């Protein structure tokens, strides 16, 4: 990476804009009070918001149609690179973020120019929606599961990026989910993630304008998290950014490093018995046909029972399609018809999909407990061996002095 030092003259402030004409001018004026290089990327707005910027010394780039916030940021990154810039700071156009917090990002970049700095919103402010509180906790959890990195506000759009990172990484998403994907892949690449405390303003009630589609964007986020979880347990290493200052951080539970993961859990005073029970619980829930809600159910049940949520979710991920669901469907089909399902076609998997889901449920009642017992005993046995024979490599638990621990 060539941007080894922060130079404010090589910093660009970017405002992605989509139908926030009522607030974008105030945001741009606030940014100009702190920095003279401001770029607005109009992502196909139809409310005439661009006209509100008339007379301001800002640069304007425009998309002919709405391509998504991720594409708007990447368009800005391409333009900034051609201008010789080294860093971007993105700030939302809806007035939620306060430009007066920009100096905090300048200071953070001066200390860590090769990190992504993410604004951690102060949710003690008025009118914070319950959906935003839940969404932040949910995304923070998934980041830790997939990468091992901790961050206070994964969903915040007020951020500072090193431009080299955006040039190096490749992304599959282009809308809101982009801001999750870039953090996960940056952490995999060895780039530090850092919190910057910021203020936040939520307009009351109907005055608040959000373009987040609760159905489509949540589906996109769910699909992205599924992909990232599968990639996180894949056996091949992640691409590391050349010159990245931080070694790759491992997730709290990673099937690529099973012994190290169990040692880490034992070091938190979690007994082998509880680890085996948690593994069995996660596999049992993972085998059930809880379509699109496996993680939510697992988090709720693990939290209610006071067991390790990371291990429970990781165990459930082992039951992702196609292997375990296919096995459950075969067993369920056999229970119903007395013979195995041998035809894989549009008819059996398409028009008869509801029957397959029912058979999945029937089969999971047998397959789930079987796999749960096997996996639970396996984890228990390995954990006992690590604890008693290897010493757990720093585990705070010794044989005969086990204590149950909980990880919130």
| Residues 213, 338 within the same domain | no
| Residues 76, 144 within the same domain | yes
Distances, alpha carbon 382 to alpha carbons 234, 260, 277, 396, in Å: 22, 11, 13, 17
272 in a structural domain: yes
| Residues 262, 191 within the same domain | no
| Residues 154, 56 within the same domain | yes
- Most confident range, picked from 131-135, 255-259, 333-337: 333-337
248 in a structural domain: no
- Higher pLDDT: 130 or 331? It is 331
| Residues 222, 313 within the same domain | no
* Phi, psi of 162, rounded to the nearest 5 degrees: -75, 130
Using pLDDT thresholds of 50, 70 and 90, give the confidence band for residue 217: low
Is pLDDT at 406 greater than 60 in this prediction?
no
| Residues 62, 193 within the same domain | yes
| Residues 309, 377 within the same domain | yes
> What is the token pair recorded at 193?
């993630």
Residue span of the structural domain in which 139 resides: 8-232
What does the pLDDT read at residue 184? 93
What does the pLDDT read at residue 120? 94
Q: Is the peptide bond before 166 cis (omega within 30 degrees of 0)?
A: no
Distances, alpha carbon 299 to alpha carbons 24, 139, 273, in Å: 39, 13, 20
pLDDT in tens, 286-302: 999 998 788 878 887 88
What does the pLDDT read at residue 4? 57
- Higher pLDDT: 203 or 57? It is 57
Mean pLDDT to the nearest integer, 377-401: 68
What does the pLDDT read at residue 396? 38
Last residue of a domain, one of 179, 214, 232: 232
168 in a structural domain: yes
397 in a structural domain: no
Least confident of 104-113, 284-293, 302-311, 349-358: 302-311
| Residues 156, 65 within the same domain | yes
| Residues 226, 274 within the same domain | no
- Higher pLDDT: 402 or 359? It is 359
Last residue of a domain, one of 171, 198, 232: 232
Alpha-helical (H) ranges within 98-157 are: 102-111, 130-147
210 in a structural domain: yes
**Domains: count for the chain:** 2
Mean pLDDT (the chain, rounded): 86
Q: How far apart are CA 273 and CA 284, in angstroms?
A: 16
User: Do the Cβ atoms of 121 and 156 come closer than 8 Å?
Assistant: yes
* Phi, psi of 148, rounded to the nearest 5 degrees: 85, -5
What does the pLDDT read at residue 397? 37
Q: How far apart are CA 278 and CA 192, in angstroms?
A: 31
Q: What is the CATH number of the domain that holds 185?
A: 3.90.550.10
| Residues 296, 216 within the same domain | no
What does the pLDDT read at residue 174? 85
What does the pLDDT read at residue 116? 95
Least confident of 35-39, 96-100, 292-296: 292-296
What does the pLDDT read at residue 84? 93
């Amino acid at each position: 990476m060539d941007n080894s030092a922060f130079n404010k003259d090589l910093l660009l402030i970017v405002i992605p804009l989509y139908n926030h004409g009522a607030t974008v001018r105030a945001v741009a004026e606030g940014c100009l009070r702190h920095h003279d290089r401001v770029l607005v990327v109009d992502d196909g707005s139809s409310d005439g918001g661009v006209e509100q910027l008339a007379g301001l010394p800002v640069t304007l780039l425009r998309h002919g149609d709405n391509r998504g916030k991720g594409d708007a940021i990447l368009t800005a990154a391409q333009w900034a690179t051609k201008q010789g810039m080294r860093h971007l700071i993105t700030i939302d156009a809806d007035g939620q973020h306060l430009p007066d917090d920009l100096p905090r990002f300048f200071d953070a970049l001066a200390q860590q120019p090769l990190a992504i700095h993410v604004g951690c919103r102060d949710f003690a402010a008025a009118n914070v929606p319950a959906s935003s509180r839940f969404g932040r906790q949910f995304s923070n959890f998934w980041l830790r599961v997939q990468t091992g990195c901790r961050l206070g506000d994964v969903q915040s759009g007020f951020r500072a990026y090193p431009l080299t990172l955006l040039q190096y990484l490749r992304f599959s998403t282009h809308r809101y989910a982009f801001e999750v994907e870039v953090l996960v892949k940056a952490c995999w690449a060895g780039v530090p993630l850092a919190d910057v405390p910021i203020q936040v303003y939520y307009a009351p009630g109907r005055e608040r304008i959000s373009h987040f589609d609760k159905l489509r964007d949540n589906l996109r986020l769910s699909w992205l998290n599924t992909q990232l979880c599968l990639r996180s347990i894949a056996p091949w290493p992640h691409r590391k950014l050349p010159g990245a200052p931080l070694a790759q951080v491992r997730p709290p539970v990673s099937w690529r490093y099973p012994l190290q993961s169990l040692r880490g859990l034992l070091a938190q005073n979690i007994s082998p018995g509880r680890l085996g029970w948690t593994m069995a619980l996660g596999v049992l829930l993972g085998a059930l046909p809880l379509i699109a809600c496996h993680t939510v159910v697992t988090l709720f049940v693990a939290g209610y029972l006071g067991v390790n949520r990371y291990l429970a979710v990781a165990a459930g991920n082992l039951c992702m399609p196609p292997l375990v669901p296919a096995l459950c469907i075969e067993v369920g089909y056999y229970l119903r018809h007395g013979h195995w399902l041998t035809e894989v076609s549009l008819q059996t998997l398409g028009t008869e999909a509801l029957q397959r889901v029912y058979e999945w449920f029937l089969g999971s009642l047998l397959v789930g407990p079987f796999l749960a017992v096997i996996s639970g005993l396996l984890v228990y046995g390995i954990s006992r061996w690590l604890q008693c024979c290897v010493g757990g490599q720093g585990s705070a638990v010794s044989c005969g002095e086990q204590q149950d621990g909980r990880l919130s």
